[in-house]
Amino acid sequence: MTKIALITGASRGLGAALAKALAPTHHIIAVGKTVGALEELDDAIQAAGGQSTLAPMDITVDAAMQQLCRGIFDRWGKLDLWVHAAIHAAPLAPTGHIGPKDLAKSLSINVEATSRLISYVAPLLGETGKAVFFDDPRGGERFFGAYGATKAAQIALARSWQSESVKTGPEIKILSPEPMPTATRARFYPGESRDVLTDPNTEAARLLPEILD
């Protein structure tokens, strides 16, 4: 029976790389806002002999996520894996100068959408599925107030779910990727040499055994 993997934040970066890495063993449901990037991902997956379903959706739109998860249930009845790679990187700013819109968007994507998705995806994962989150501890660092606070809140949700699910499932994994030349990191370190960073495809290959273990 085909295994089903939902990847939120699959348009680019680590999400896209993991979608390609998982495609040999899973049917990929790729969620992202950038249609062109999702189509490129689909081409790469098909060229390698895999299959994917594209879901060009905004994870902050509650009705869309409800529709997505209902569609997954109606078609497959379950999920084997959820990889949550979606994140918003607010502009760096002194804590006293964080823009209200930047903070609101960070909360909406990094915290509120994650919380809703957990409630919708958990029944699809059941007792035997897995969910994967990615830690990036920036809390307390200079100028990282909006990102650091909301990323920490996202991981706090994941850790609580993890501790609550130890005996009942699903299995929750929280991984720590190496620095990669992603759009998120470029926003934080615009002058950084990208040559010293780990390619997302290389990092996906490193993380894959831990995800599938």
**Which residues span the domain enclosing 152?**
3-212
CA-derived radius of gyration, the chain = 17
Question: Which residue's structure tokens are 């929750």?
Answer: 172
- Averaged pLDDT score across all residues of the chain: 96
DSSP strand pairing (81-84 vs 130-134) = parallel
Check which CATH number belongs to the domain holding 26 and give it: 3.40.50.720
pLDDT of residue 139: 84
Q: Is 136 helix (H, G, I), strand (E, B) or coil?
A: coil
% of the chain surpassing 90 pLDDT: 94
Contact 25, 3 (CB under 8 A): yes
Instruction: Give residue 167's Cα distance to chain centre.
Output: 24
Separation between Cα atoms, residue 78 and residue 159, nearest integer Å: 23
Backbone torsions φ then ψ of 125, nearest 5 degrees: -75, -30
pTM, entire model: 0.96
Element spanning 30, H or E:
strand 26-32
Mean pLDDT value across residues 193-205: 96
Structural domains in the chain (count): 1
Contact 91, 68 (CB under 8 A): no
Q: Which residues contact 157 (CB under 8 A, 6 or more apart)?
A: 111, 114, 115, 118
pLDDT of residue 94: 97
With b for 16 or more beta-carbon neighbours within 10 A and e for fewer, the 123-155 pattern comes to ebbeeebbbbbbebebeeeebbbbbbbbbbbbb
pLDDT of residue 46: 97
pLDDT of residue 53: 98
Tens digits of residue pLDDT in 156-165? 999 999 999 9
Separation between Cα atoms, residue 10 and residue 4, nearest integer Å: 15
Question: Which residue's structure tokens are 């959820």?
Answer: 82
pLDDT of residue 88: 95
Mean pLDDT value across residues 120-143: 96
Task: Please determine, for residue 57, whether its predicted confidence score (pLDDT) is greater than 90.
Answer: yes
Amino acid at site 157: L
Task: Please determine, for residue 74, whether its predicted confidence score (pLDDT) is greater than 90.
Answer: yes
Mean pLDDT value across residues 130-146: 94
Structure tokens at 15: 């999400």
Mean pLDDT value across residues 55-73: 98
Task: Please determine, for residue 51, whether its predicted confidence score (pLDDT) is greater than 80.
Answer: yes
CA dist 37 to 33, 52, 64, 65, Å? Answer: 9, 13, 19, 20
Structure tokens at 140: 């307390």
Task: Please determine, for residue 1, whether its predicted confidence score (pLDDT) is greater than 90.
Answer: no
Separation between Cα atoms, residue 198 and residue 206, nearest integer Å: 10
Mean pLDDT value across residues 103-125: 98
Task: Please determine, for residue 152, whether its predicted confidence score (pLDDT) is greater than 80.
Answer: yes
Question: Which residue's structure tokens are 């819109």?
Answer: 101
Task: Please determine, for residue 85, whether its predicted confidence score (pLDDT) is greater than 80.
Answer: yes
